Amino acid sequence: MNYYPIFLNLKGKKAVVVGGGRVAERKILSLIKAGASVTVVSPSLTKRLLRVRSQKKIRHLPRRFRGNDLREAFLVVSATDSFATNREVAANAPALVNVVDVPSECNFIAPSVLKRGPLVIAISTSGVSPALSKTLRKELEGLYGSEFSAYLKFLKRVRVKALIEIGHRKRRETFLKSLASQKILLTLREKGIDAVKKVVTERLKKVVK
């Protein structure tokens, strides 16, 4: 199966998760972080999900799945240990559906994700080996540390400033491209965020002049 990679804007969108165990917990927490409006269908919840429910971050239906639970859902995740339930969820899903660890019942699969602030790296083996995806993610964690999150937050401010202060289009484009050069990334890794901020700030001053 060849999957089309995509990043979804879930803010305010209805997401339904069937299941309340540890696997479902991970999916639910990720959906909440993405801004989705999450409904959980499960007779029971993990301790952490009980806390999330008490904080009113999810809507909980404390029972077994029913077909009409998916009405108007933008995205559906089934994370139960029942093959029959998972299959029923997939059959009733109105749009995007993921059945955990059963690619044949999905029309999308969830990648292993590395996040560093605005930087999001998604790794997938197209469902062949989720374990390998996780191993590759851990490998990448060593290459892209928290300094990348700090740099991107800094870049956001610098980009706005450059768009305002550098009137010449080609000079502006050259400057912005230079902020993503291998040399800058090497400086970030070897000398840290403060050193990079100094280099970028001095470079911006020269271009503006």
Distance CA 116, CA 142 (A): 12
- The class (CATH top level) of 1-110 is alpha beta
Q: Where are the domains of the chain?
A: 1-110, 146-208
Distance CA 150, CA 118 (A): 9
What pLDDT shows up at residue 170?
A: 94
* Amino acid at residue number 195: A
What pLDDT shows up at residue 156?
A: 96
Place of tokens 């899903």: 93
Contacts of 129 (CB under 8 A, 6+ apart): none
pLDDT in single tens digits along all 209 residues of the chain = 788 889 999 999 999 999 999 999 999 999 999 999 999 999 999 999 999 999 999 999 999 999 999 999 999 999 999 999 999 999 999 999 999 989 899 999 989 999 999 999 999 998 889 899 999 999 999 999 999 999 999 999 999 999 999 999 999 999 999 999 999 999 999 999 999 999 999 999 998 87
Distance CA 176, CA 169 (A): 11
Q: Residue 171 in contact with residue 208, Cβ under 8 Å?
A: no
What pLDDT shows up at residue 140?
A: 96
Q: Residue 37 in contact with residue 15, Cβ under 8 Å?
A: yes
SS3 96: strand
Q: Which residues pair with 116 in a beta bridge?
A: 119
